[in-house]
Amino acid sequence: MSASTLPHRALGGLVVPPLALGSWNTWDRMDPDDAAAMIRRAVELEAGFFDVAYYNMGPHAENSRTDILFGQALRESGIDRSTIVLCGKLWLWDWPNQSFRAQLVESLERAGLDRFDTLVVGDYLDEPDVARIVADVNALIAEGLVGGWGINNWRIGHTRAALAVAADTGLVGPSFAQLKYGIARRAMAEGAAYGPLFADGTLALQASDVFEGGILATGLVPQRKIGADVGGIRERILALYPEVARIADGFGVTPAALGIAFCLTHPAAANVLFGASRIAQLEQNHAALALVAERGGEVREALAGLQADVVVRDDGAW
């Protein structure tokens, strides 16, 4: 298989690489020198998009240092800031008591940064004040702290409301949806609820939790905290791993690379967000780009019967 790469796609006003690195349980599992080397290698392998979050709120009240360690590694790497994309995160768990501005400034200061290129507004349990969210994010854009924004696993009604508020008020609305998406979880990204917004270009898709916390990459359930099991289907997903591994072997890639390639076959996918704590993982995952470029249709056909969330709602409600 050749070293083919994919064209970089639009995510809001940005042109982004097809691979993106997350920060949850990654940079805090690496040696500082290895972290700096990972950043340099990521830029070389079309993964120079970094999701940077301060995990210390709501279900993520972990007082994590992963964002601080990323900032240190970025400075040590010597990478030119203009060659990468940095995505921040805002949480709704204690908002508006903890304002978006306070959250973002703290996040930037912890990582030693002056701005994010874009950001994601996280998910929620209680009914959100969508109009205020749109206004508060736009205040950050006006201040120059961030360039645009997207949403993370929002219910479709609230996403459409945010788009409508932005259109009515002349403000910047969400330009992408960061959704759980992968071989086994397809409901939101491929369902009828979000489908029209992807089809008409209103939103781009950023695939996340692609490996179901590592289950579809290794066949093992990690002991660390992983993402929510929407629909209670994790045992079903675990049972799919042997078949995923068999199909991956047939394509000559790892199960992780196969999962990334699958996501990139989605017409609206701007990139795929995943975690890696070893350069070897990143290099293996990069094989997904050649696979989807050369055999994307075959990948989707081979995995057609492995959706595990057929009965899970596609509108984000759970």
Please report the domains of the chain, with CATH numbers, ordered by start residue.
9-302 (3.20.20.100)
pLDDT of residue 1 exceeding 50, the answer is no
Q: How far apart are CA 305 and CA 308, in angstroms?
A: 9
Q: pLDDT grade, residue 60 (50/70/90)?
A: low
Summarize the confidence of residues 77-83 as an average pLDDT: 97
pLDDT score of 299: 98
> Taking the model in full, what pTM does it have?
0.95
Candidates 188, 182, 253, 261; CA nearest to 215 is: 182
Q: Residue for token digits 């056909």?
A: 301
pLDDT of 287-297, one tens digit each?
Answer: 999 999 999 99
Return the higher-pLDDT residue of 114 and 63. 114
One-character DSSP codes across the chain: -----PPPEEETTEEE-SEEE--TTSGGGS-HHHHHHHHHHHHHTT--EEE----EETTEES---HHHHHHHHHHHHT--GGGSEEEEEE--SSTTTS-HHHHHHHHHHHHT-S-BSEEEE---SSPP-HHHHHHHHHHHHHHTSBS-EEEES--HHHHHHHHHHHHHHT-----EEEEE-SSS--HHHHSTTTHHHHHTTS-EEEEESTTTTTHHHHS---SS-----TTS-HHHHHHHHHHHHHHHHHHTS-HHHHHHHHHHTSTTEEEEEE--SSHHHHHHHHHHHHHHHHHHHHHHHHTTT----TTS-SSS--
Q: What percent of the chain has pLDDT over 90?
A: 86
Q: pLDDT grade, residue 222 (50/70/90)?
A: confident
pLDDT of residue 234 exceeding 90, the answer is yes
pLDDT score of 3: 47
